[in-house]
Amino acid sequence: MPIVNNTTDLTQLHITSRGFKCYVIDLHKWCVWTGSRWETYDNHSVNDIRGTSNNRPNIPDWDSGFQYFDTTLNKPIWWNWYKMGRCNWS
């Protein structure tokens, strides 16, 4: 299975077969081609897991632990869901 450095390299792979897997070094994740987009194994588009603070994705409350690399802060952050019903990025 191929290994690429980043999501730009990933999108330059011209894959047509659904289920094709590739490891992305800067995400530290395996990704799979769904036939229409690249996703991580936790079913998030690779476009949803990295970006600026202003572009953080809307994450369902049940998806606590979702990791996002914030390029504004230059560090990974995780989605937390508190039992009291408050949502928080930390």
Count the alpha carbons within 13 Å of 30 in the hemisphere toward its beta carbon. 7
Residue 83, pLDDT score? 45
How would DSSP label each residue in 46-59?
Answer: GGGSEE-GGG----
pLDDT at residue 66 in the model:
77
User: How far apart, in whole angstroms, are the C-alpha atoms of residue 58 and residue 26?
Assistant: 22
Query: pLDDT digit string (tens) for 54-78?
Result: 888 777 666 777 778 888 988 888 8
Instruction: Record the tokens describing residue 61, joined without a space.
Output: 């409350």
- pLDDT for residue 90: 54
